[in-house]
Copies of this chain bind each other. A is one copy, B any other.
Amino acid sequence: MKARVTVTLKAGVLDPQGQAIQGSLKSLGFASVESVRQGKVFDVELGESELPRAEANLKAMCEKLLANTVVENYTIEITP
């Protein structure tokens, strides 16, 4: 089973990397860019056939390693 975990910064958390990208886009001529926030995406393949167990496992992975839940949100999409 495949899953995509998307980790993004919470609202209000500063994102200097995103700001740098925004600056670069502006200097490349993309004047309409109002903000850029960068996040991470993890494509995980699981050798797990039960959906609830896969979901629970992925949630635990996010809490323990993939996301820093103090400053980041995560979403999990599972493709069975």
- Asked whether A76 is an interface residue with its Cβ less than 8 Å from the other chain, the reply is no
Cβ contact within 8 Å between A6 and B41? yes
User: Which residues of B lie under 8 Å from residue A14 when comparing CB positions?
Assistant: none
Option from B33, B46, B64 in Cβ contact (under 8 Å) with A34: B46
Q: Return the CB mask of A1-41 against B: 1 if under 8 Å, else 0.
A: 00000101000000000100100110010101111111111
Knowing A21-B65, A21-B66, A66-B21, say if A43 contacts B32 (CB, 8 Å): no
A-B contact pairs, 7 of them (CB 8 A): A21-B65, A24-B65, A25-B61, A30-B57, A32-B48, A32-B54, A36-B43
Interface of A toward B, CB cutoff 8 Å = 6, 8, 18, 21, 24-25, 28, 30, 32-48, 54, 57, 60-61, 64-66
